[in-house]
Amino acid sequence: MKSKAILITIVMLLPIIVYASGLDNTKVDWWIVREKDHKTPRVNDKLSYKLEDYDAYYVGDTEKPVLYLTFDEGYENGQTGAILDSLKENDVPAIFFVTSPYLADNADLITRMVDEGHLVVNHSHHHPSMPKYAINARDFALEFKDVEDKYEKITGKSMVKLFRPPMGHYSQKSLAMTKDLGYQTIFWSFAYADFDVNKQPDPTNARKLISENFHNGAIILLHAVSKTNAQILGDVIKDAKAQGYTFELWPYPGAKESKELKDLDDNAESDDNTESEDTADSADDSTESAEPAL
């Protein structure tokens, strides 16, 4: 049985091995250069390939005033609950990129994220530099699968296949292998130094910096360990809405179908509630008429 499972894994990985074997595996660091006046940031234009060819993106629809709010979750620092509160209060969806240890230690928070309409997606098992793992197709694939399995165990659902490379490290080969596993790679068009819990940015300055860098289609990366982010998130959301922006989930493959199914479920639940209310009203009328006349 074990040999059969190994054989199946090898067969599944063969296309990845063959396709990616000739690609460049030189590690590249993701970076952006901020622009003024809410313009799309500049990125590395020296690559010999297009990110889109490997389903890798750093920005969404630049024709629409839409923002994609994302959080990286490597470990819990007691701030995620407050972040979820702000998202709920402001009716804003977000995308949480999580690691295996985070899933293992925070099932309740994961369940809450999903129940409140957020996406919980893949940030790898060990949080490695992915080009290092791209030399071995099996090890590379396991970085994704362990996260998928833990998520499904908690939620009973399959994980949406969005991936953020740890530390923003990537290569042409790692992007190709990620795509062949069915994933889109999601980088970012805004991030700032919010990840050091012992050196948190000033809340006023942080709010100003984030708000000044909104732009159409922005993918905003925030770290959920940040106390500053938890404190200012509600105000940042209000700033964005005041500037005419809306917040959306990333339009991943199958997103439209998932939304349609959810709408059907919501409508069915609404119909059930209406029927129950009608029945309750009838029962109340019946009870009232059964009372003795005075």
Domain layout of the chain by residue ranges: 55-253, 255-287
Active site residue 72: yes
Share of the chain above pLDDT 70, in %: 80
Give the pLDDT band (50/70/90) at residue 255.
Answer: confident
Q: Of the ranges 57-61, 149-153, 163-167, 280-284, which one carries the lowest mean pLDDT score?
A: 280-284
Task: Return the higher-pLDDT residue of 260 and 48.
Answer: 48
Active site residue 126: no
pLDDT above 60 for 261:
no
Predicted TM-score of the model (pTM): 0.83
- Among candidate residues 72, 146, 180, 194, the one labeled active-site is 72
- Among candidate residues 118, 127, 215, 223, the one labeled active-site is 223
Q: Considering only the top CATH level, what class is 55-253? A: alpha beta
For residue 269, the tally of other CB atoms under 10 A from its CB is: 10
- pLDDT tens for residues 59-68? 999 999 999 9
Give the pLDDT band (50/70/90) at residue 253.
Answer: confident
